[in-house]
Amino acid sequence: MTETTLTELLGYQLVQVCKAHRNKAESLLSEIGLHAGQEVVLHYLWHEDGRTQSNLVDELCVQPATVTKSLDRLESAGLVRRRADAEDRRVSRVYLTDAGRSLHRQIGNIWLEVEAASFGVLTAEEQETIRRLLQKVLKNLKQ
């Protein structure tokens, strides 16, 4: 039989796992008023404050419009602030507010909890294996 059974494909498994992973993250992040994805923006700002939106676009691997909307909400929530660049007036730089900075530790803990709830069941060796395989797949998909 040549019928393609979707549920047997690795891509289907991947999507299932990713959905469950996102739900777990979403559920924990909602406790501090965030949505999955927003914490990644904050992460890059903790690592380097005052990034340009273009830089966030590159780091997050999403479209400019996605960053614009996401920042609109983070700004409304009082977690970041946009200021025009002094030298290039096209450029908008993004800065953390105190409220945004203060979430650092809580979000770090949430990540660790999600990581444990997902991959904690794997042995150290299995974790290294899945990391290697995921990277191989990502490289294949991105080229």
Partner DNA sequence: GCCGTTTAGTTAGCCAACTAAGTAAATTTT
Partner DNA sequence: AAAATTTACTTAGTTGGCTAACTAAACGGC
Interface ranges with DNA (CB under 7 A): 19, 23, 26, 35-38, 52-54, 57, 60-73, 82, 85, 87-93
Amino acid at 36: A
Binning the chain into helix, strand and coil, the percentages to the nearest 5 are 70, 10, 25
Least distance (Å) from DNA to the CB of residue 1? 27
Q: Which helix (H) or strand (E) holds 52?
A: strand 51-52
Tally the C-alpha atoms within 13 A of residue 86's C-alpha that lie toward its C-beta.
1
Minimum gap (Å) between residue 47 Cβ and its own copies: 8
84 or 129: whose CB is closer to its own copies?
A: 129
Distance CA 136, CA 131 (A): 9
99 binds its own copies (CB under 8 A): no
User: What is the binding site for its own copies (CB under 8 A)?
Assistant: 3-4, 6, 9-11, 13-22, 24-25, 40, 43, 61, 108, 111-112, 114-115, 117-122, 126-127, 129-131, 133-142
